[in-house]
Amino acid sequence: EAGVAQSPRYKIIEKRQSVAFWCNPISGHATLYWYQQILGQGPKLLIQFQNNGVVDDSQLPKDRFSAERLKGVDSTLKIQPAKLEDSAVYLCASSHNAGNSLQPQHFGDGTRLSIL
Amino acid sequence: DQQVKQNSPSLSVQEGRISILNCDYTNSMFDYFLWYKKYPAEGPTFLISISSIKDKNEDGRFTVFLNKSAKHLSLHIVPSQPGDSAVYFCAATSDNYGQNFVFGPGTRLSVLP
């Protein structure tokens, strides 16, 4: 089975610019997550989708971050405008069914964002 | 407030010996725990899980132990192999969290040949 696909792998922008990341989950996975992983820390959940609906976005900085999953498959995460503290790896993950807490998440390889 | 803690940032073990990675949590509502392994420039990969109705789960060389009263779990790798060198993350959740897993900061394991 194909894994979670993310692009781009790397992105370098200046502060106050905007950036977008794309994620294609594993086929058939209803639940999609975006995580932010700052160097030396564990992944922190930004937003969780179930199909095309938002389940949890309590840790998403909504003044600058937005995410969508319009057709319940692919998703994009946008930052506008970027700040220096947004430098991190942005990980996308998917899982089979949010109703079953025993389902592990499958992660993509992430997008490494550097803000200059 | 760090709900999942991995107090050892790094650990070095000789090949063939046992590796023990520890994880502590503060939220008594957590009832499902996972370990992920991460190589550089790759996403985390699921390794093993345990639910709170068990105190041990085994999968090949990997065993996870859960001590609910101490809010502590550990991952044992026996025997350790150089390919096990990676960062290991502990993650926890509960039915109240849906699939919202809280991750620890990770422990970097180095297995020396």
Q: What is the pLDDT of residues B100-111, one digit of tens each?
A: 789 999 999 999
Q: Are residues A4 and B43, on separate chains, in Cβ contact within 8 Å?
A: yes
Tell me how many residue pairs between chain A and chain B have CB atoms under 8 A apart. 60
pLDDT given for residue B96 in this prediction: 63
A101 pLDDT higher than 60: no
Cα separation, B38 vs B57, in Å, equals 20
- pLDDT tens, position by position, A33-54: 999 999 989 999 999 998 889 9
Express as a percent the part of chain B with pLDDT over 70.
95
Could you tell me which chain A residue has the CA closest to the CA of B5? Answer: A42
Express as a percent the part of chain A with pLDDT over 70.
94
pLDDT given for residue A72 in this prediction: 84
pLDDT grade, residue A116 (50/70/90)? very high
Given the DSSP bridges, would you call strands B32-38 and B86-93 parallel, antiparallel or unpaired? antiparallel
* Residues on chain B touching A106 (C-beta within 8 angstroms): 46
CA torsion through residues A35, A95, B83, B67, sign: positive
Between residues A104 and A59, which one has the greater pLDDT?
A: A59
Q: Are residues A98 and B42, on separate chains, in Cβ contact within 8 Å?
A: no
Q: Are residues A105 and B101, on separate chains, in Cβ contact within 8 Å?
A: yes
pLDDT given for residue B97 in this prediction: 60
pLDDT grade, residue B35 (50/70/90)? very high
The closest CB to that of A101, out of B42, B99, B102, belongs to: B99
Q: Are residues B98 and A56, on separate chains, in Cβ contact within 8 Å?
A: yes
Instruction: For chain A, give the mean pLDDT.
Output: 92
